[in-house]
Amino acid sequence: MSSVEANDYRIQELAAGYSLGDLTDAEWHEIQSYDRKIFQAMVERSEEASACTFLTFQNTVPSERMPAELSSRLQKMATGFFADDTTPAIQKASNAVTIAPSAMGVREISAWLCMAASIALALCVWLPGKREWVTSLEEQRASLIASAPDILRSKWESTAPETKPGTELGEVVWSTASQQGFMTIRGLPANDAKKEQYQLWIIDPSRDDKPVDGGVFDIIKDGESIVAIQAKLRVDKPTVFAITVEKPGGVVVSDQKRLPLLAKIASN
């Protein structure tokens, strides 16, 4: 097997793991080293195969009926779904989706809040006529800011000579409700991924004193980069986001010898 074929097979293997939900932390990191569009296209094909497989197996088992109470709840949700701006159930303003609690129960509200964020952040977007993953990180970030009710924002501060002096360094945005966030980064030099990579850490004292791994990433060009945060554990009350420089693939515990950027959350 040539190196190109081996690389291609590895992408297929990781896409299969993604579809089966069995990727390890190291593999999540590894994904970032592959071309995003190629990987996502392969994921989509794997997910379609998984869906067909599910349906095939499902066809051999007795039918199960959804609980009547759940069905009623869905029908209540449906009542408000097509409502326009004047209806109380759901109000849409530009890109934002806001909820009017009086129209729904707690459970429905939770579902709406969750979906408002998750729809905005969905990894794949289906377009009529072709299958593509078209949502850019910039669009995903904008959607999160527009839709998440609990968005936290903080500007990066330079803590080391890696950053270019006088540069507006960007910011981090985070939504605890959706467990999603994005970093906008300017001024960090491009890294050689074979030698070192950047790694995000999230400090959440409500968990414990160990920072949560926020994912390994590369800066591949000068100018602005947007990076999706890949928190490996749930983060509830983040107080600091810190970027360190680590060996390729990242580390489990950082010695923090090189920590070029830091963003503190003012109040939580």
Partner 1 sequence: MLQVDESPSQSIQSILAQVARREPQSLNHCIERYGNLIWSIAKRYSPSQADAEDAVQEIFLELWQKADRFNPSLSAETTFVTMIARRRLIDRFRKQSRSVEVNSVENDFDEQPNLSSTASVELIDEAAKATRCLDGLVANQRDILRKSIQEGKSHSQISSELEIPLGSVKSFARRGLIQLRQCMERFSVAGTGVAS
Q: What residues line the site for partner 1 (CB under 8 A)?
A: 12-13, 16-17, 19-22, 25, 45-67, 70-71, 73-75, 77-78, 81-82, 107-108, 110-112, 114-115, 118-119, 122-129, 131, 179, 232-234
CB of 241 to partner 1, least distance (A): 18
| Structure tokens given for 70 | 């759940």
Three-state DSSP at 243 gives strand
By beta-carbon proximity to partner 1, the closer residue of 16 and 242 is 16
CB closer to partner 1 out of 84 and 209: 84
The least CB distance from residue 224 to partner 1, in Å, is: 27
Beta carbon nearer to partner 1, 4 or 61: 61
Sign, Cα dihedral of 220, 140, 15, 214: positive
Which of 114, 190 has the CB closer to partner 1? 114
Closest approach, Cβ 27 to partner 1, in A, equals: 11
Burial class (CB in 10 A: 0-12, 13-18, 19+), 60: exposed
Residues in the chain: 268
Cβ contacts of 123 within 8 Å, gap of 6 or more: 40, 133, 135
Q: Which residue has the tokens 């945060």?
A: 229
Provide, rounded to whole angstroms, the least separation between the CB of residue 22 and partner 1.
Answer: 6
250, 29 Cβ separation under 8 angstroms: yes
Q: Which is nearer to partner 1, 107 or 164 (CB)?
A: 107
Contacts of 168 (CB under 8 A, 6+ apart): 186, 187
Residue closer to partner 1 (CB basis): 137 or 177: 177
Token pair of 1 as six digits: 């097997």
**Which are the contacts of 138, defined by CB distance < 8 A and separation ≥ 6?**
226
| Smallest separation (angstroms) from partner 1 to the CB of 54 | 5
- Report the nearest approach of partner 1 to the CB of residue 146 (Å): 14
